[in-house]
Structure 1
């Protein structure tokens, strides 16, 4: 009996994850407008793959969002950044739909959320309603589209995940209608010498190949003269009809002499592997030139599950006197393709461009923990913080430390610790660890203070220092004045900001009672909706307290009238 149950579970998982079994008629669209995409599934983002599709909402907020099928609300999360206001609905067929960056929820769900926020005395919440507590039916209104969280403009972020594994899958596999008759675009093509003896076009380093458009729409690359183990990379994007957005590729296939040596697609991936995007792209090139090159071969440390086929990790071993035809095809889900042919000839040439390896006093063994004492500071890298071994540049000067540069990606958090012994106590009360940006402006890092040490955990290489914030936050009313009658006002709004360490917390009371303020950090606004509470006094006394990340605090008080 137990074996039968296990087999049934395995078959269910296979049904959910198998591409050929994605149900194409089970779900409706989450919006009642033509679907035009601002972002596609698997798109290359900063340190992660995009886990859904971004649907344009006609440059406005407040469009009705509908349940794509019968189900029950399984999770609600409201946060200042990330997904902002997000709703998760579990469906009986084993999938969960996700709707993010929402303006607000449907009345029943909104009431549940507000009750939770007031009970917790917090705008940011994460709650998991009991199964069946908030049931929805297909076509029912569940929310309104918005621009909350880390959104850079009004849109609906939409996902479909496996309820069992929480693994996101490409929503376009489920039959959602998006007009697309546009081929992917190949912007640039690169060749990489990979082995110690490898040379490509007289270079030991990455080289860009010239491209010629053919009559059939394909590309022909210039001849590659090479020896040793080499690989290729593409800078490319895809577009759907009716939108100019440069979205991500769906599929890439590489053939050598007609044989598939590498193929991957973005049907699905796990959140646990999403940061491995930094092994798929040329991270060093991105840090210098802000262009993402997707490698057609696997690096060490690349454990991505997106690969359908790999031979010799997608690398090509070029022998003297041999000829090879490499063909790379870019595809989208609608079947549109772009193709480039690369002639490769095995010819040993004297390299004119040498690959320089910058050697320093410190070396990272990626598979082991690495601990470095820099005098007034220490840096600890856990095992597998990095994908490869390399010489790391570590410099220390007074209260400033340089941890290499941003050309190397970190997979895990490392710990940076400053020795604060000898610093003035008054300085330390409002001091914090800051990362200096390109203009040497300090960005606050979450700082842990223990005894005579300050420490922080981060994945970002760069320059760090001890900074001080002595200026408290500012608060000023946005849509009202003191002693004003606000009878016909729907909401109350204030501007809050901090010049250095940033806002840590805020709290507001009205006539001594806690009220919910919705914080929108993108425009530094906190807003109270008068519908939340029935005021029993004509004169209302407002008190707002805002605290920054080092403890500086500002209190704002005002009175207004409302009948």
Structure 2
């Protein structure tokens, strides 16, 4: 189905006027007042561009909607270039390519306007799938600026009702900071600095005689931030710094990410970065940019002002010696940090330090082998083999390993280094089980046991007497087996038999071991559209009188399969 053509050619004179009002950022020209707001109310944010998230930078802004069902508008003329529906991630999302070289993205939508909704549903029924990712041609779905596209929701991995909104460079697909395009968002509040971190970066460096990361609380007075209680800092050797900092905007208490940060020492610029644009290909480097260990252990996401040798982020505009500064004996130092948001509200922190006169070489502790990040690395011990491709780490690591007996699994528990260390590239894990249950090899998988004792399915295939998989995590691993089918629990009361007057059929589906792989609903042996809300374990079908005759008797069958092929089926009869 095609949506009627509504695009009209914009006069060249108007295009010239629009492009004459622009701002420059990181070799990009961002037009001002070309795009309208994606909503019809004052924008306040629950999150902003390039915030530090688990394993990625946030690629847009999160507009607070408080409830679902708010109208979402096309921000300029263009065509719908992509529609994506998924149980997690962006949920229901729509992409529009604009003639000025940008793409707008709207995610976590509840539903689309009728024409688009019917197009989506027709595609789902033609392909017997709820989830899909469809690219459209230029002339299929044309839209005008101000057209209502959809209604805001809470689909996918959204943690609450909001509109996730992005602007991308169409050609490169790089996400760009939407706050640089002139949207009217009230923001007179500067970022807030909460804590200051110092890192000794080799065995000959120290902080007040200590060779471990040190944290210092920060306080605000005299229009600037200072270290609380003004502690004496004595630094020696190669040192790095980091800040725990968030931005805040007017009319919301939501913690947002900063826009840029720079550090000078004795008035010399040492490091700086700006969050204007990034590539999805480099987003995982967020695990190097922030302190990964603090994120895992304390859920703190902080910005480092230095970088590891294999951090390939393009956000850095200045990194003298990778942001690492060498402190010398007895020299006095003035260390300044400037942090700002996209509206140029600014905060400053000044720290004074002196070069420590005490020298000491610290022990690095016991480890199995030093793994060079620039090379392939192999590790073989009894019942386990590991293969790491080049550039798996952000810096070379003193690799540790241990093993412990445990009767809960089909193998020993193998502690592969530390879950507090990030891994950039997938590596291969091969673990030999202690025994193989008869004819159950297809049910084996490798479980990762996290710090809370919970297991995560890392997948796996039994081959050549071992279970093999790929992972991007360190931690504890063991071979496990899953022979338990998923659970299907009706939320609809089928004892009534007649479902007349009800809008939907609903189930809770779950699988506690390997997780849900697929789901399918059939009515009268024909596929029907069951939608899956993964975060709430909810599977539901909305009655559709166009495709399901009312006032009839029907037979329902729901099938759910887990990641190793265990299947559960629910059947019942009903009238609607």
Fold-level match, TM-score > 0.5? yes
- Return the match for 2:224 from 196, 217, 220: 217
- Return the match for 1:28 from 20, 36, 50: 36
Residue 361 of structure 1: how far off its partner (Å): 2.4
Residue 129 of structure 1: how far off its partner (Å): 1.0
The 3 A distance-change label for structure 1 pair 17 and 114 is farther
Distance in 1, matches of 2:491 and 2:474, equals 39
Q: Residue deviations 1:454-513, cap 9 Å, x none?
A: 211111111111222222222232123145222222222122222322221111111121
Aligned to 1:324: 333
Q: Comparing 406-415 with 481-490, which one deviates more in the overlay?
A: 481-490
Residue 552 of structure 1: how far off its partner (Å): 1.7
Aligned to 1:381: 388
1:449·1:455 contact (CA, 8 Å) conserved in 2? yes
Q: Comparing 154-163 with 197-206, which one deviates more in the overlay?
A: 197-206
1:483·1:559 contact (CA, 8 Å) conserved in 2? no
CA RMSD of aligned residues (A): 2.2
Aligned to 2:467: 454
Aligned to 2:238: 229
- Return the match for 1:98 from 96, 105, 109: 105
Distance in 1, matches of 2:356 and 2:400, equals 36
Q: Residue deviations 1:96-132, cap 9 Å, x none?
A: 0011111112222211211111121111101101112
Aligned to 1:6: none
Residue 422 of structure 1: how far off its partner (Å): 4.7
Distance in 1, matches of 2:452 and 2:231, equals 40
Aligned to 2:567: 553
- Return the match for 2:526 from 483, 500, 513: 513
Distance in 2, matches of 1:315 and 1:53, equals 32
Q: Residue deviations 1:215-272, cap 9 Å, x none?
A: 2333255442223232221111111111111111111011222232211111111111
1:223·1:342 contact (CA, 8 Å) conserved in 2? no
1:378·1:418 contact (CA, 8 Å) conserved in 2? yes
2:203·2:364 contact (CA, 8 Å) conserved in 1? no
2:191·2:347 contact (CA, 8 Å) conserved in 1? yes
The 3 A distance-change label for structure 1 pair 466 and 313 is closer
- Return the match for 1:258 from 267, 289, 302: 267
Aligned to 1:174: 181
1:64·1:145 contact (CA, 8 Å) conserved in 2? yes
SS at 2:536 equivalent: coil
Question: Superposition pairs for residues 38-77 of structure 1, below 5 Å?
Answer: 38-58=46-66, 60-77=67-84
Distance in 1, matches of 2:76 and 2:390, equals 44
Distance in 2, matches of 1:324 and 1:77, equals 53
2:442·2:462 contact (CA, 8 Å) conserved in 1? no
Distance in 2, matches of 1:555 and 1:132, equals 43
Aligned to 1:492: 505
SS at 1:218 equivalent: strand
The 3 A distance-change label for structure 1 pair 327 and 559 is same
1:199·1:348 contact (CA, 8 Å) conserved in 2? no
Residue 377 of structure 1: how far off its partner (Å): 2.3
Distance in 1, matches of 2:202 and 2:521, equals 62
SS at 1:327 equivalent: strand
Indicate yes or no: 2:349 matched with 1:344: no
SS at 2:297 equivalent: helix
SS at 1:425 equivalent: coil
2:208·2:356 contact (CA, 8 Å) conserved in 1? no
Q: Residue deviations 1:136-194, cap 9 Å, x none?
A: 11110111111111111111111000001001110010011221111211111122223
Aligned to 1:81: 88
Indicate yes or no: 2:169 matched with 1:155: no
Residue 22 of structure 1: how far off its partner (Å): 0.7
Indicate yes or no: 2:307 matched with 1:294: no
The 3 A distance-change label for structure 1 pair 204 and 500 is closer
Q: Any stretches of 5+ residues in structure 2 without a counterpart?
A: 1-21, 406-410
Distance in 1, matches of 2:440 and 2:40, equals 57
- Return the match for 1:312 from 316, 321, 330: 321
Distance in 1, matches of 2:452 and 2:320, equals 45
Aligned to 2:11: none
Residue 350 of structure 1: how far off its partner (Å): 5.1
Distance in 1, matches of 2:234 and 2:464, equals 61
2:556·2:573 contact (CA, 8 Å) conserved in 1? yes
SS at 2:117 equivalent: helix
Distance in 2, matches of 1:401 and 1:205, equals 27
Distance in 2, matches of 1:400 and 1:321, equals 49
Aligned to 2:343: 334
Report the number of matched residues.
546
The 3 A distance-change label for structure 1 pair 495 and 317 is closer
TM-score normalized with structure 2 length: 0.90
1:88·1:97 contact (CA, 8 Å) conserved in 2? yes
SS at 1:278 equivalent: helix
Indicate yes or no: 2:290 matched with 1:277: no
